Amino acid sequence: MPAVLMLGATALAVVLVSAASAYATFDFWEGGPIFASLAVAAAASAGAAYVATRRVVVALGVGTVIVAAHFVLLLAITLARWEG
């Protein structure tokens, strides 16, 4: 159970910090930060799902959903904040 909480908290922290970074600067989309943010969020959330369920398909599904939602969140923040 502690591993699930730690991985889940890590994924949440990555999403929140990258959202703040996307809000603060448009340069967030310049290569490295966006890819690292998406990869860490996907890995941590998939890891938490796998530890909790011990099912690879569930873990891959959770990781995919989290990374897609994370990308859309960052895109929405960037478009709303830095439009025009």
Q: Which pLDDT score is estimated for 12?
A: 95
Q: How far apart are CA 37 and CA 43, in angstroms?
A: 10
pTM of the full structure: 0.89
pLDDT at residue 5 tops 90? yes
Number of domains in the chain: 1
Domain that holds residue 38: 2-82
Q: How far apart are CA 42 and CA 46, in angstroms?
A: 6
6-63 pLDDT tens trace: 999 999 999 999 999 989 887 888 877 888 999 999 999 999 999 999 999 999 999 9
Q: 42 in helix, strand or coil? A: helix
